Amino acid sequence: MVESIVAVKIVVRVPCAIIEHNGKVLAGQRSAALSFPLQWEFPGGKQEENETDEETLVREIREELDVEIDIVQKLPVTTKDQGWREIILVPFVCNLRSYNITLTEHEQILWLEPQDLPSLDWTEADLGVIKSYFDYLAGKR
């Protein structure tokens, strides 16, 4: 008998927010207790069943930062193969409706000038997001 093993890779879609405010961009430091501890990311999270990208994003930002956002622009996705799963990061440029952020998951947040974003230790997938964001900014000039 011939047996075959079919490896099924989990694909996880993760909308994330590039939040702009007064010319700066919000970066979130992941909790020491999570995967990729203390690395930096754009807030967001895994899509749940029957959600659109935008619905996931609004829900995750409420959960993580307790704040409402307006979505300005969807940017090209970045994919990251993590071996057992593939992450599809879906970045959105966003604005804040109010400035009262309460952190529920992140160690800390920083507001950075766009050109200073690469100075942080980002999760690998975010390097593609930062590039997409720089392309977006260049297109606006």
Ligand X SMILES: Nc1nc2c([nH]c(=O)n2[C@@H]2O[C@H](COP(=O)(O)OP(=O)(O)OP(=O)(O)O)[C@@H](O)[C@H]2O)c(=O)[nH]1
Residue whose CB is less far from ligand X, 57 or 96: 57
Are residues 63 and 104 in contact, defined by beta-carbon separation less than 8 angstroms? yes
Q: Please state, in angstroms and as integers, the Cα–Cα distance from residue 3 to each residue in 6, 46, 84, 114, following that order.
A: 10, 34, 21, 53
Residue whose CB is less far from ligand X, 2 or 86: 86
The type of residue at 115 is Q
Q: Is 69 near ligand X (CB under 6 A)?
A: no
Judged by CB under 6 A, the number of residues near ligand X is 17
Using CA of residue 136, residue 11, residue 96, residue 40, what is the dihedral sign?
Answer: negative
Of 42-50, 51-59, 68-76, 108-116, the window that binds ligand X (rule: CB under 6 A) is 42-50
**Cβ 13 to ligand X, closest distance in Å?**
9
Q: Is 29 near ligand X (CB under 6 A)?
A: no
Q: Is 45 near ligand X (CB under 6 A)?
A: yes
Of 2-10, 34-42, 111-119, 130-138, the window that binds ligand X (rule: CB under 6 A) is 34-42
Compute the radius of gyration of the chain from its Cα atoms.
Answer: 16
Q: Please state, in angstroms and as integers, the Cα–Cα distance from residue 47 to each residue in 5, 60, 133, 136, following that order.
A: 28, 9, 21, 24
* 3-state secondary structure at position 41: strand
- Residues of this chain that interact with ligand X (CB under 6 A) are 14, 16, 34-36, 41-46, 80, 87, 89, 123, 125-126
